[in-house]
Chains A and B, each alone.
Chain A
């Protein structure tokens, strides 16, 4: 079955750019969505269809997907961005496959 891999953690200073990756074989041929989950809260959709932002998500959040890596990029990181981030891959036989999650720490 298809496997997607996220780094367990990413750390960044306030104001810098955070890049969270989601790796899988030819993931660029699939569609990737991203969710933000803060402690004790339900997940929130952050990016869908690789790069689209739902209303209410700041423009600082962007996404890309090519080759074997999909990337969630958060520009000008703020303390409030600290959360767990999950990628979800659809388009293959596993329509709702989640990555293991990446904890973003704002230093």
Chain B
């Protein structure tokens, strides 16, 4: 059974940093692209960033480019999102999601999400 478990969310001040993790199990993690999608309170889904199976290629939304960095450790079956220079508008539930293969560009499994709140 595919399981994705996010952690690392919490309350952070504007301008601060946070690192999210996503522990994956139930599939061969190193064989699949992965991504992060966020959802602001009461709002819709917004894609944040994606990374190839090997980690050699990444994509990021313009809204986070230069501030957020996606990475992965295939030896530990873990996906990361390093978030710097956080803003109030980054407040959201952040979901870790699995691509169906290596950049089929949609997500077939999602974690339950971790809440990030940016506020002073």
Query: A residues touching B (Cβ–Cβ < 8 Å)?
Result: 31, 33, 35, 37, 41-45, 48, 54, 84, 86, 88, 90-91, 95-101
Contact = CB atoms under 8 A, between A and B. Distances in A.
B44 A43 contact: no
B47 A45 contact: no
Contacts of A48: 100, 106, 108
Nearest to B49: A96
Nearest to B47: A96
A101 B45 contact: yes
Interface string B85-118: 0000000000100001001011111111100000
B27 interface: no
Nearest to B4: A42
Given A42-B112, A42-B113, A54-B108, A96 B44 contact: no
A90 B105 CA distance: 6
A99 B44 contact: yes
Which applies to chain B's interface (DSSP): helix, strand, loop or mixed?
Answer: strand
A41 B110 CA distance: 10
B96 to A, nearest CB: 9
A43 to B, nearest CB: 5
Contacts of A98: 37, 44-47
A44 B103 CA distance: 18
A42 B47 contact: no
Given A101-B44, A101-B45, 12 more contacts: A42-B110, A42-B113, A43-B37, A45-B108, A48-B106, A48-B108, A91-B105, A96-B105, A97-B47, A98-B44, A98-B46, A100-B44
Contacts of B37: 43, 96, 98
